[in-house]
């Protein structure tokens, strides 16, 4: 099994999509959204499949399965019972959930390799047996590695992690699922999902000042709340999309999980092509350009609900504590903190997670760090930075970003999920002690990051977090 998204593989996906859409268009006789094009292009039986948003169960042929190490164990054990020699679709395992953040990248990774040796050995051996790609501890966070290596516009992927929609930043339908769904797909069975309804988000204008892609999704979460996207796909469209980088789009799609959406997606554009070329996938960018009609919504495509946002009016947002939809412009934060009695002194600042650990994210943080360094300012609290992948770490090391970060007091952690999922051995604050932290993560429920229910967790863009 070749696990790579080769030009031949991608070309076949587009051919199948085009053939299936010819059948569906004759049935529906109406314009299609981008998400519908990707979904219907992957139907197991486009001629007979019932199409009824919110009611029908779609049977889809996925292009790829991605698994993180905490969920892959049971999925692979279940797959082994099928007695199939190799997976039916390209599949990968990513060792990112079992590395605990404490001292720093190298020591924490070595500790994880020792503590979790049996798990890693099993996953490596089973992956080799079944033709599954194995990304070892320290290689990076599942969604960043997929984005850098496998994602491409118009594809359909499922992953055993809730933030799988990150790949929507490259125009992909990527959905977080349970292990049983992953096993079905790896065994060659169709994947079943309730036919989602569609929410459109029209973006106009351009981000300016300190506003970042993170603020777009914090605004959307404020509008939809933590349940507003349930059983819907959120599709971004409009001229404002072109002003946001591919990794910025990924941040927005990633946190779609926080408003309950099945997934989120952006249309293919030049920013995606630029990213594909920068990550040695220029031929895929060319194929996407040749099939651009498949990778954007038709004019007049219907949405069940539409939100509109002028990016030029957006100011930085901060969300929290305790829920990702408690968002407000940063200009209103001071008064709310005082009124609610939240701890007003930060005890820690954290950059990273699958949501904001790209090279672009860290470059923005470094820009602020340089300004702080010139002013003689160092971090007054623990400041942890987590690169999203080994590729990103080596690149920021090459560009001398690591030294700049360390000069202002930052500690560069392992390329893994770490504190975002609670893998944080924190000893600067006692359990039960009230304190506030700020991060560029995605979730801020009580106790999630450090197992302390009295930690008030706020979420912001990487730039605001370091500032």
Please, is 85 exposed, middle or buried when counting C-beta atoms within 10 Å of its C-beta (0-12, 13-18, 19+)? exposed
Please check whether residue 164 is in contact with residue 265, taking contact to mean a CB–CB distance below 8 angstroms: no
Distances (CA, A) of 430 to 144, 364, 434: 32, 32, 9
Task: Count, in order, helices (H) and strands (E) of the chain.
Answer: 16, 18
Q: What gap in Å lies between CA 220 and CA 235, rounded to an integer?
A: 12
Return the bridge partners of 306, or none.
200
Outline where 161-269 has alpha helix (H).
Answer: 179-186, 213-224, 246-254
Please check whether residue 128 is in contact with residue 377, taking contact to mean a CB–CB distance below 8 angstroms: no
Q: What gap in Å lies between CA 121 and CA 108, rounded to an integer?
A: 18
What does the pLDDT look like over 209-226, one tens digit per residue? Answer: 999 999 999 999 999 999
What does the pLDDT look like over 425-460, one tens digit per residue? Answer: 999 999 999 999 999 999 999 999 999 999 999 999
pLDDT of residue 160: 98
Q: What gap in Å lies between CA 158 and CA 207, rounded to an integer?
A: 31
What does the pLDDT look like over 239-285, one tens digit per residue? Answer: 999 999 999 999 999 999 999 999 999 999 999 999 999 999 999 99
Mean of all residue pLDDT scores within the chain: 98
DSSP 99: P
Please check whether residue 169 is in contact with residue 147, taking contact to mean a CB–CB distance below 8 angstroms: yes
Q: What gap in Å lies between CA 356 and CA 361, rounded to an integer?
A: 6
Q: Are strands 156-159 and 197-204 parallel, antiparallel or unpaired?
A: unpaired
Closest CA to 298 of 24, 6, 15: 24
The CA angle 37-40-45, to the nearest 5 degrees, is: 160
Q: Is the pLDDT of residue 144 over 90?
A: yes
Please check whether residue 461 is in contact with residue 214, taking contact to mean a CB–CB distance below 8 angstroms: yes
Confidence bin at 1 (pLDDT 50/70/90): confident
Cα of 98 vs its chain's centroid, Å: 18
Q: What gap in Å lies between CA 358 and CA 23, rounded to an integer?
A: 39
Q: Are strands 263-265 and 232-237 parallel, antiparallel or unpaired?
A: parallel
Residue 37, both tokens: 């094009």
Peptide bond into 188 cis (omega under 30): no
pLDDT of residue 350: 98
Per-domain boundaries in the chain: 319-466
The domain 319-466 is placed in CATH, from the list 1.20.120.420, 3.30.499.10, 3.40.50.620, 3.40.50.300, at 3.30.499.10
């Amino acid at each position: 099994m070749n696990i790579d998204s080769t030009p031949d593989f991608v070309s076949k996906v587009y051919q199948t999509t085009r053939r299936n859409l010819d059948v569906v268009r004759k049935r529906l006789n109406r314009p299609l959204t981008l998400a519908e094009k990707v979904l219907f292009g992957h139907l197991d039986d486009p001629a007979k499949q019932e199409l009824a948003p919110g009611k029908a169960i779609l049977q889809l042929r996925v292009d790829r399965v991605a698994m993180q190490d905490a969920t892959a164990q049971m999925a692979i054990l279940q797959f082994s019972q099928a007695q199939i020699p190799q997976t039916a679709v390209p599949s990968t395992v990513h060792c990112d959930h079992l590395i605990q953040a404490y001292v720093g990248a190298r020591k924490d990774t070595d500790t994880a390799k020792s503590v979790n040796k049996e798990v890693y050995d099993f996953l490596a051996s089973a992956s080799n047996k079944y033709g599954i790609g194995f990304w070892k501890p320290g290689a990076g966070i599942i969604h960043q590695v997929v984005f850098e290596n496998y994602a491409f516009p118009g594809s359909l992927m499922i992953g055993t992690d809730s933030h799988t929609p990150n790949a929507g930043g490259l125009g992909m339908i990527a959905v977080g699922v349970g292990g049983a769904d992953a096993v079905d797909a790896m065994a060659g069975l169709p994947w079943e999902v309730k036919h989602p309804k569609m929410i459109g988000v029209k973006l106009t204008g351009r981000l300016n000042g300190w506003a970042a892609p993170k603020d777009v999704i914090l605004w959307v979460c404020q509008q939809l709340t933590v349940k507003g996207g349930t059983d819907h796909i959120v599709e971004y469209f409009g001229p404002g999309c072109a002003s946001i980088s591919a990794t910025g789009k990924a941040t927005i799609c990633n946190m779609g999980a926080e408003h309950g959406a099945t997934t989120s997606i952006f249309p293919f554009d030049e920013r995606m092509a630029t990213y594909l070329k920068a990550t040695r996938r220029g031929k895929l960018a060319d194929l996407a350009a040749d099939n651009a009609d498949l990778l954007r919504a038709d004019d007049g495509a219907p949405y069940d609900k539409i939100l509109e946002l002028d990016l030029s009016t957006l100011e930085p947002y901060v969300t929290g504590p305790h829920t990702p939809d408690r968002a407000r412009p940063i200009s209103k934060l001071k008064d709310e903190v005082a009124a609610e009695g939240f701890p007003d002194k930060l005890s820690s600042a954290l950059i990273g997670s699958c949501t904001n650990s790209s090279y672009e994210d860290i470059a923005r943080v470094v820009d602020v760090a340089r300004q702080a360094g010139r002013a003689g300012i160092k971090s007054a609290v623990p400041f942890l930075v987590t690169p999203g992948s080994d590729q990103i770490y080596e690149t920021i090391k090459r560009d001398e970003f690591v030294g700049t970060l360390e000069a202002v007091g930052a500690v560069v952690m392992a390329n893994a999920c770490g504190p975002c999922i609670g893998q944080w051995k924190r000893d600067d604050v006692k359990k039960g002690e009230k304190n506030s932290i700020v991060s560029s993560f995605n979730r801020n429920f009580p106790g999630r990051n450090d197992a302390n229910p009295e930690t008030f967790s706020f979420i912001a863009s990487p730039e605001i977090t370091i500032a």
